Structure 1
């Protein structure tokens, strides 16, 4: 899929997760691209774009640590990771969308530990898994040079 196709698919999945969760599950998400050994923001939705860009490496540190601990950073399209330590504006989860693209999720009010204590999380988690399955069958393919700012 293209970036233009991925955005409404992600928006719809987030709406379903919110409905199933009974409130806002992830109030920000971003598509991040790797190119030339650097990270670039391809798309962001949420309340704090500038802060997300400036603080990206700090706010994804726990998630990166979790990914290195469990999979040594090697993920296939459709793989995902959560961190219970993503409190506040820290990133809570990511989903590998394509060969060089990740979808990063955050809840700026709740940590994953708090989210998973809500019994409705299990139902919302099913939609997250559906999104994973969707990208396995049709990965995000980004062409050309990165369009967004370097992170």
Structure 2
């Protein structure tokens, strides 16, 4: 009985070996390979598409860095965005007017959700901030006129 079990285990292992050999290795996307850009007239803000792109349909991952005191004025997005703060503390406010008294601090490791078409604004009040947004495109950043 033991010999039959051993032979069965050996046969299963040998049969599965070609399948395991065909499994592709992970392909990491590293920060140094990203193509960073800044919005017009706001050099304290940099962004890079890690997966997907603004005009593409489907899931995307967008990485952003804000230098100390950088502000993103009131804007919206056509899709819901889930944002995780990677480093620093990001101050976030919702509404049609940039109001520092109504902002919430989101520390590193925290997450906030910006619902589709809801005006919001951001500030790196205390120092440099890095965060990552995920959503489903196509997407855009639409400034809210005052």
TM-score calculated relative to the size of structure 1: 0.28
More strand by share: 2
Structure number with bigger Rg: 2
